């Protein structure tokens, strides 16, 4: 416990500061959770959803895993999406990756790290899908491009899920966004304009892929 005491002390200081600035903050937070956003991001400790978007506790519902992967067999992620869409009624789903992602770069390099290799096989599938185009790029650019491609592919997976299909079929207003974060300047960049219905999934996907390689070749 003594090794973690500083974290408990920091929590007390943070809570006191919040109350000093807004005495009713925690009372409001306790009463209801009504975020407009679901964030699906990487587990990387340098990419915390609330801080980099400037949002407060209660404003964003968060799911994170290594390399921000969305898999149709991952009941953890799908349950989070379903809860956010059906119960919380979020209006936006943001899949956010980041440049320099360890999971992506490990996959690109073909390195083995252990059990997580099985999870990163999904990133490997993205790499294999775009292998020819990636090999045409300078080697120094491939990591950043694969980070972008991985986000775009995971957005496609979100849109193809039964949760989103059902939500859009019943007329629920919800958009799915592809974002990427740059560790070197702290800025987020949009990789698509948001997908708001089933009819535009393929169009938005192809456009995002095309623009990804155009940026890389510019």
- For the question of residue 212 being annotated catalytic, the response is no
- Residue 65's contacts (CB-CB under 8 Å, 6 or more residues apart) are 42, 43, 74, 76, 77, 119
In this prediction, residue 115 carries a pLDDT of 97
Q: What is the pLDDT of residues 181-199, one digit of tens each?
A: 999 999 999 999 999 999 9
Catalytic option among 63, 77, 92, 101: 101
Pairing of strands 37-42, 60-65: parallel
Catalytic residue among 63, 92, 98, 177: 98
What pLDDT, on a 0 to 100 scale, did the predictor assign at position 33? 86
- Render pLDDT for 2-36 as a digit per residue (tens, 0 to 9): 899 999 999 999 999 999 999 999 998 888 789 99
Instruction: Give the per-residue pLDDT at 13.
Output: 97
For the beta carbon of residue 106, count every other beta carbon within 10 angstroms.
19
> Is 63 marked active-site?
no
Q: Is residue 46 among the annotated active site residues?
A: yes
pLDDT band at 1 (very low <50, low <70, confident <90, very high): low
Percentage with pLDDT > 70 across the chain: 100
Q: Which of 9, 28, 46, 121 is catalytic?
A: 46
Give exposure, 137-157, as e/b (b: 16+ Cβ within 10 Å): beeeebbbbbbbbbbbbbbbb
Residue 117 scores a pLDDT above 80: yes
Residue 50 has pLDDT above 80, yes or no: yes
Structure tokens at 26: 């925690």
pLDDT of residue 32: 76
Of residues 115, 114, 38, 37, the one with CA closest to residue 77:
38
pLDDT, position 218: 82
44 is catalytic: yes
Average pLDDT of 101-114?
A: 97
DSSP states of 26-66: HHHHHH----SEEEEEE--TT--HHHHHTPPTTSEEEEEET
In the residue annotation, 215 being an active-site residue is answered as no
What domains can be seen in the chain, in order of their start residue? 1-31 (no CATH), 34-217 (3.40.1050.10)
């Amino acid at each position: 416990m003594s090794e973690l005491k500083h974290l408990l002390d920091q929590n007390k200081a943070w809570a006191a500061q919040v109350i000093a600035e807004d005495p009713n903050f925690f009372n409001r937070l306790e009463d209801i959770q009504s975020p407009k956003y679901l964030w699906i991001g990487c587990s990387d400790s340098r990419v915390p959803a609330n801080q980099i978007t400037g949002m407060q506790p209660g404003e964003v519902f968060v799911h994170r895993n290594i390399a921000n992967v969305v898999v149709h067999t991952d009941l953890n992620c799908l349950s989070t999406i379903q809860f956010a869409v059906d119960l919380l009624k979020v209006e936006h789903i943001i899949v956010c990756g980041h440049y320099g992602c360890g999971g992506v770069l490990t996959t690109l390099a073909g390195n083995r790290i252990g059990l997580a290799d099985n999870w990163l096989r999904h990133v490997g599938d993205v790499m294999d899908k775009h292998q020819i185009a990636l090999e045409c790029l300078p080697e120094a650019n491939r990591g950043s491009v694969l980070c972008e491609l991985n986000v775009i592919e995971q957005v496609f997976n979100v849109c193809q899920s039964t949760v989103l299909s059902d939500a859009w079929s019943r007329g629920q207003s919800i958009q799915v966004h592809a974002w990427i974060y740059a560790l070197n300047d702290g800025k987020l960049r949009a990789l698509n304009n948001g997908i708001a219905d089933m009819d535009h999934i393929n169009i938005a996907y192809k456009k995002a892929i095309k623009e990804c390689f155009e940026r890389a070749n510019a």
